[in-house]
Amino acid sequence: MTWDDMLQSTKVIAKYLIPTLKVFGFTLLFSIPLGMIVALIKKCPFKPVSWLINLYILIMRGTPLMLQIITIYYAIPMLQKSGYFAGVNIKSDSYQFTALIVAFVLNYAAYFAEIFRGGIESIPKGQYEAAAALGFTKPQTFFRIILPQVVKRVIPASANEVITLVKDTSLASTIAYIEIFRKSKELMVTYSSLIPLFIAGVFYFVMNAVLTAVFSAVEKKLDYYK
């Protein structure tokens, strides 16, 4: 593989960086708030609800993300044979992307839920009692006192999940969604070389290096919660 081929491959792979970032961005956009909601529902005193949430988290964390992507992607076509979801166009690009995001969001929300739950439970109960004594309502206590401390405590674990998400976007190729990893595999076959895969690896490395720097800066900003 010549230098010109490497340069051309880099340009081609770079064009598919946007689809990769779309999977990454939409997953974070929906999975973080969903994870917080799941974490709060898990603390519900009504046992059947908490059991269902525990089952959901167990399934999402206990099975491969690749399997979840495939299952969700092919679930609608299988249900269509039984007469359900007849109006859904399973051959459209929007269906492919939607199924992909649903799988990623459900998976990562389960992980974020456990991270947030741990952060919430790490706050001493005395802070809740002190807030109540000062006349704070439960929502005020949570959003003004508890949540800022939780954010500080869950940053390291959340950073690990976000970095893992960057690498997991490569699993989108499972259902033929074209992003940098799938395109690099196609170029690998075209040039009969592993170089395109290494180029894709550089893209992942740079993205994670940027995220690492961002999270380090955020941690420094939140040092006043020590």
Predicted local distance difference test score (pLDDT) of residue 63? 95
Query: Average pLDDT for residues 139-161, to the nearest whole number?
Result: 87
Predicted local distance difference test score (pLDDT) of residue 86? 66
Provide the percentage of residues in the chain whose pLDDT is more than 70.
Answer: 96
Predicted local distance difference test score (pLDDT) of residue 113? 95
Distances in Å between the alpha carbon of 56 and those of 74, 104, 106, 110, 143?
20, 14, 9, 8, 26
Predicted local distance difference test score (pLDDT) of residue 19? 93
Predicted local distance difference test score (pLDDT) of residue 146? 84
CA distance 121 to 55: 20
CA distance 16 to 33: 27
pTM: 0.89
Query: Average pLDDT for residues 113-135, to the nearest whole number?
Result: 88
Query: Average pLDDT for residues 2-12, to the nearest whole number?
Result: 84
CA distance 47 to 83: 35
CA distance 165 to 99: 17
Give 167-209 pLDDT, tens digit per residue.
999 999 988 888 999 999 888 888 888 899 999 999 999 999 9
Give 52-85 pLDDT, tens digit per residue.
999 999 999 999 999 999 999 988 888 777 766 6
Write down the mean pLDDT value for the chain: 88
Tokens for 6? 């490497």
